[in-house]
Amino acid sequence: MLASARPDSQARGFTGLPRWIWAPAALGALFVVVPPAGILARVDWADFVLLVTSESSLAALRLSLGTAAASTAVVLLLGVPMAMALARGTLPGLRVLRALVLLPLVLPPVVGGLALLYTFGRLGLVGRWLDVLGVQLAFSTAAVVMAQAFVSLPFLVVSLEGALRTAGGRYEAVAATLGASPTHAFRRVTLPLVLPGLASGLVLAFARSLGEFGATLTFAGSLQGVTRTLPLEVYLQREADPDAAVALALLLVAVAAAVVGLAYGRRGLR
């Protein structure tokens, strides 16, 4: 890509790009691209299939895909209204709320996990009332989904809020004067207009959920088939069976690459 970008831009005329930019840019690209290749070099190809189809590996993969899909659904249901309220709402204090809502983006995931534990754990702020009702969330598959949704929600909110702000409210105003109720305009105008932003937000949220480690380990533990997702399995196997860890890591790289490819493929179409 770097190699082909240069003649292309020259063919299009003046770019204003200083020559020296290419050196640090290439260094940065190598820094990102080489490590995954390092994994490829370390993979034990002879036993690869055997390693990734072991019972524990398959359980972790199944759990990871299932919980990431579930948390993405949660993020969709909660994040879209949040982005709408933040982008279009006029309530006082919304700016402060936006900063708070984006907290998980900058919080270390382990701290997020602790926060969830002291809120939804058996003795937590909310958990003690749930416990009375016989609901225990911590160290369950539901806790995995909650941990993933907690860390990935801001990705969708940021992405969608940006798209909503860029789109502006002019089309909605036109829709209203044409007789469309706010709900009708939301379904028929707003959502279709921001669909690319929504899609990339969902892809980012799914990818972030798939790679979640710290919050999951802290709030949900590491129980095979229940809470031990692929990243947790990789970390566990790292000591016991490095070959298996590497094979699973490659699996994660492949899934992540597929997700990113999907996102960029969509963007390329626009």
Partner 1 sequence: MSAPLLAVDAGVAARGVRLAVGVGDGETVAIMGPNGAGKSTLFALCAGLLRPDDGGVRLGGRVLADHSGAWVPPHRRGIALLAQEPLLFPHLNALENVAFAPRAAGASRRAARAAAERWLAEVDASDLAARRPGELSGGQAQRVAIARALAAEPRVLLLDEPFVALDVAAAPALRRLLRRVLAGRTALVITHEPLDAHLLADRVVVLESGRVAESGPTAELLERPRSRFAAGLAGLNFVAGRSTAVGSGNAGRLAVEGLGEVSGSVPDGVAAPADGEEAVAVFRPADIAVFRPADIPHGSPRNSWRATVQELEPRGVQVRVHCEAGPALGAVPTGAVPTGAGQPVRLSADLTPAAAAELDLAPGQPVVLSVKAAAVSLYGV
Site for partner 1 in 145-164 (CB under 8 A): none
| Helices within 89-194 (DSSP H only) | 94-101, 103-106, 109-120, 127-132, 141-167, 170-177, 182-185, 191-193
> Rounded to whole angstroms, how far apart are CA atoms 198 and 164?
10
Is residue 267 close enough to count as binding partner 1 by CB under 8 A? Answer: no
Site string for partner 1, 166-195 (x = CB under 8 A): ----xx-xxxxxxxxxx-xx--xx--xx-x
Site string for partner 1, 43-82 (x = CB under 8 A): ----------------------------------------
> Rounded to whole angstroms, how far apart are CA atoms 42 and 159?
36
How many chain residues are in contact with partner 1, going by CB under 8 A? 19
Contacts of 243 (CB under 8 A, 6+ apart): 44, 47, 51
Minimum Å gap between C-beta 98 and partner 1 is 25
DSSP secondary structure, 41-80, as one string? HH--GGGHHHHHTSHHHHHHHHHHHHHHHHHHHHHHHHHH
Assigned token pair, 99: 């900063």
Looking at beta carbons only, is 63 or 185 nearer to partner 1? 185
Minimum Å gap between C-beta 186 and partner 1 is 12
Looking at beta carbons only, is 33 or 173 nearer to partner 1? 173
Minimum Å gap between C-beta 171 and partner 1 is 6
User: Site residues (CB under 8 A) for partner 1?
Assistant: 170-171, 173-182, 184-185, 188-189, 192-193, 195
